[in-house]
Structure 1
Amino acid sequence: MIQRIQTLFLFFAFLLNGSVFFNALYRQAMNDPSQWIGLTFAIVLTAAALMPLVCILLYKSRSNQLQWVKITLLIQVIMVGLGSGILFTLGGFGTFLWDETIGLILLVAAFSAELYARKKIRDDIELVKSMDRIR
């Protein structure tokens, strides 16, 4: 399980998504006068943080793990969209919103780690298929 590189990237995505909880972007979402925005952000961020852990635990079935990583990527895209929306309602990118921009960068980095994990899972599936053909 731990010897596979995709496990490390999925764990890295978990850490990146979890670190957004301690970022100014999360605080701004929770301080929004519209309570539903902060609640939606918190729920989707929790799902985006926990889904890579679920994918790590599915290491015995690579095809099942690949399907769950695709679902995780979809949730991560929603998370990046929510984070971008919150950042742009605050005024967009700028030196005064540097902390919030770091939160969005963390979300994009988690997305790219999940993409790379998906690529490595596909590579493993192809490697196993090629070994089965040799037998």
Structure 2
Amino acid sequence: MIQRLQTLFLFAAFLLNGGIFFNAIYHHAMDDPQAWVGIGFAIIVTIAAMGSVGTIFLYKNRENQLRWVSRLLVPQVVAIGFAVGIYISLGGFGTYLWDETIGLGLLVLALASQLYARKKIRDDIELVKSMDRIR
């Protein structure tokens, strides 16, 4: 389980999503006068983070793991959408929003990590199929 690259990438996605809770963009979301923005952002990021950890333990059934990783891309993209909305509502793009930009970058890196994990799962599936053809 640990020796597979997709496990490392899924764990990296978990860490990157978890890092949002210690970032300025999360604090701005929680300070928003519309409470649903902060709560929705927290729920979506939690789903994306916990889903990444949960799919690590589906390593025995690669097709199922691939399906769940593909499904987890949706909450990750929604979390990026929330973050972009919060980022733009802070006054646009500027040099004074470095902390918020780092938070947005963490979410984009988590998405890239999930996409790369999905690619590696597909590679494993193809490797197993090719080995079955040889037998």
Is this a same-fold pair by TM over 0.5? yes
Interval containing the TM-score (normalised by the shorter chain): over 0.9
Letter in 2 for 1:17: N
Find out whether 1:102 has 2:124 as its counterpart. Answer: no
Secondary structure of 2:48's counterpart equals helix
Matched with 2:80 is: 80
Find out whether 1:11 has 2:11 as its counterpart. Answer: yes
Deviates more, 1:106-115 or 1:94-103: 94-103
Hey, what's the Cα distance between the residues in 1 that align with 2:36 and 2:53? 26
Tell me by how many angstroms 1:93 deviates: 2.1
What pairs up with 1:34-113 in 2 under 5 angstroms? Answer: 34-113=34-113
Matched with 1:124 is: 124
* Unaligned stretches of 5+ residues in structure 1: none
Hey, what's the Cα distance between the residues in 1 that align with 2:2 and 2:92? 39
Matched with 1:114 is: 114
TM-score, structure 1 length as denominator? Answer: 0.98
Q: Number of paired residues?
A: 135
Tell me by how many angstroms 1:92 deviates: 2.0
Q: Deviations over 1:103-122 (max 9, x none)?
A: 00000000000000000000
Hey, what's the Cα distance between the residues in 2 that align with 1:62 and 1:93? 41
RMSD across aligned positions (CA):
0.6
Hey, what's the Cα distance between the residues in 1 that align with 2:30 and 2:11? 26
Matched with 2:32 is: 32
Structure 1 stretches of 4+ with a deviation exceeding 4 A read none
Hey, what's the Cα distance between the residues in 2 that align with 1:94 and 1:8? 34
Hey, what's the Cα distance between the residues in 1 that align with 2:88 and 2:33? 16
Tell me by how many angstroms 1:48 deviates: 1.0
Q: Deviations over 1:8-46 (max 9, x none)?
A: 000000000000000000000000000011110111111
* Unaligned stretches of 5+ residues in structure 2: none
Hey, what's the Cα distance between the residues in 2 that align with 1:34 and 1:43? 15
